[in-house]
Structure 1
Amino acid sequence: MLEVKQLVKEFGGLRAVDGVSFTLRANTITGLIGPNGAGKTTLFNTIAGVHRPTSGDISFLGRRIDGLAPHRIFHEGLVRTFQIPRPFAEMTVLENCMLVPPRQAGERFWNNWFSRPQVRAEERACRDRAQEVLAFVGLSPLAGEYAKNLSGGQQKLLELARVLMADPKLVLLDEPGAGVNPTLLVTIMDKLHELNARGITFLIIEHNMDLIMTLCDPILVMAQGKLILEGSPTTVRSDPGVLDAYLGGVPE
């Protein structure tokens, strides 16, 4: 589904991503781990089009996407979330979801005058879809609440709901467990499992090792901008290089 070849991203004299290559298979949940500063978020941003790669290739579903603008990559079905959720704070939970689907007729102001039946029909369908998605993530009771009033964990669920409104093929999740209480974390993990069973592929950055080891296979490990290992949870957990780079050394 996603193929990254010898990807390099430099900022001045800093090489944040240094010759990274990997392939994601469809219908998998892949983890991406590494110490702070390893280059994980820069890798995400480069895949999603926020950064233009210095060199290397990125292909999604057989098509080169490196260098494309983020909105064009989004329309291809590759969607990302952020470590710190970014909802529209002064809009309701339902409105945040309804805003996502692209190319809505009502976005062109003249359609609201000359194509009112089409605009109304699309808006009804969008509202119905948003309500279904909010029910799936468990936020239906908060549909009319302003996004700014949600807890951190609830905002993570809203972020997931907004992603689902885009009908993605591949989702890049940036620390879905950060700042989430244990109960909501279990909910998020269950939802990711269910969505994966429906055919959505995930690549997840996460520092919560319990989440990664439970949810992900394979796991990619980065350190100092390089990909140092790719393997199963069992392989990663026992690899001396990973223990040294990420966990502080091999236990005695």
Structure 2
Amino acid sequence: MTTAEQTNPKEATGSPPDRGEVLLDVQDIAKNFGGLRAVDHCSLTVRRGTITGLIGPNGAGKTTVFNNITGFIAPDSGRILFQGIDITGLRPDQIFAHKLCRTFQIPREHGSMSVLENLMLVPTQQIGEHIWNAWFRRGAVRRQEEQNRDKALEVLEYLELTHVQDEYAANLSGGQKKLLELGRTLMVDPELVLLDEPAAGVNRSLLKRIVTNIRHLSSERGITFLLIEHDMNTVMNLCDPVIVMSEGRKLVEGPPEEVRSNQSVLEAYLGGQYAAAES
């Protein structure tokens, strides 16, 4: 396959599906770390209502793109638009305030706090954070805390975690911590959630629950998802479209069945497992 063919997704797999308006528009971003170019003028879009998969080999630049989008690392060049607003270079908390949230491959729970407290901590602009409100607006502080608690309990019930609500978060299993990470994003009614390897280190039973929750949140609550994942069964069964990255650039984009049947993707990124299954 020539370089020109590799960098033209429409020639490789057809036009990506038109699911709705463009929610996230990553325009020609680049990021260098010393002499290493981790992201090389990458452009991609995420349309509202989709569960978009982002795959590629280790070192393809996927996590750096996530970090650029969510403000953990600013790109050296290019622009990132979310709902038409330029969020390039904003701090993570500013991007979070736009209802763009993320989870991490290794969950970042507050281990010394309970599961319920982890969720109640998430909402922004809590009036109880200011000491004078705790002194002079106790009623307002209490009402807001009750609202946050009610919402947290609703999220825990949705994720089937109510039985561990009073457990220290550090004591949860790996899969339960992934569910808790997802629950924390739900506390702010997000528009877009970026999931970094939600299947990593999760047993099959809990993974099935995570996948089911993602599907329901997309279809029932209208939340859009962009996820990095190395579990190809999860990607192919959950995501549409699928974006493939290589060497910091977008290589291919399309529906999962087209990406799955693309020979260059099969050989370079799926390790031959699907090629063997179809031979």
Q: TM-score, normalised by structure 2?
A: 0.88
After superposition, the CA RMSD in angstroms is 1.0
Residue pair 1:223, 1:245 contacting (<8 A) in 2 also: no
- The one-letter code of the counterpart of 2:156 is L
Corresponding residue SS for 1:110: helix
CA distance in 1, matches of 2:270, 2:108: 30
Corresponding residue SS for 1:58: strand
Moved over 3 A (4+): 248-252
Q: 1:148 to 1:101 in 2, by over 3 A?
A: same
Residue pair 2:43, 2:249 contacting (<8 A) in 1 also: no
Please tell me whether residue 246 in structure 1 is matched to residue 269 in structure 2: yes
Q: Give me the identity figure in percent.
A: 58
CA distance in 2, matches of 1:179, 1:244: 25
Please report how far the alpha carbon of residue 166 of structure 1 lies from its aligned counterpart in structure 2 after TM superposition: 1.7
- The one-letter code of the counterpart of 1:228 is L
Aligned mate of 2:131, from 92, 96, 109: 109
Please tell me whether residue 176 in structure 1 is matched to residue 176 in structure 2: no
Paired positions, count: 252
User: 2:153 maps to which residue?
Assistant: 131
Where structure 1 has 5 or more consecutive residues not aligned to the other structure, the ranges are none
Please report how far the alpha carbon of residue 245 of structure 1 lies from its aligned counterpart in structure 2 after TM superposition: 2.2
Where structure 2 has 5 or more consecutive residues not aligned to the other structure, the ranges are 1-22
- The one-letter code of the counterpart of 2:139 is P
For residues 171-201 of structure 1, the C-alpha deviation after alignment (integer angstroms, 9 at most, x for no partner) is 0000001011001001001100110011100
Aligned mate of 1:189, from 211, 217, 221: 211
Please report how far the alpha carbon of residue 167 of structure 1 lies from its aligned counterpart in structure 2 after TM superposition: 1.3
Aligned mate of 1:212, from 235, 249, 252: 235
User: 1:22 maps to which residue?
Assistant: 44
CA distance in 2, matches of 1:191, 1:233: 20
- The one-letter code of the counterpart of 1:214 is N
Q: TM-score, normalised by structure 1?
A: 0.98
CA distance in 2, matches of 1:138, 1:216: 23
Please report how far the alpha carbon of residue 248 of structure 1 lies from its aligned counterpart in structure 2 after TM superposition: 4.1
Please tell me whether residue 43 in structure 1 is matched to residue 40 in structure 2: no
- The one-letter code of the counterpart of 1:127 is R
Residue pair 1:129, 1:165 contacting (<8 A) in 2 also: yes
Please tell me whether residue 88 in structure 1 is matched to residue 110 in structure 2: yes
CA distance in 1, matches of 2:56, 2:83: 26
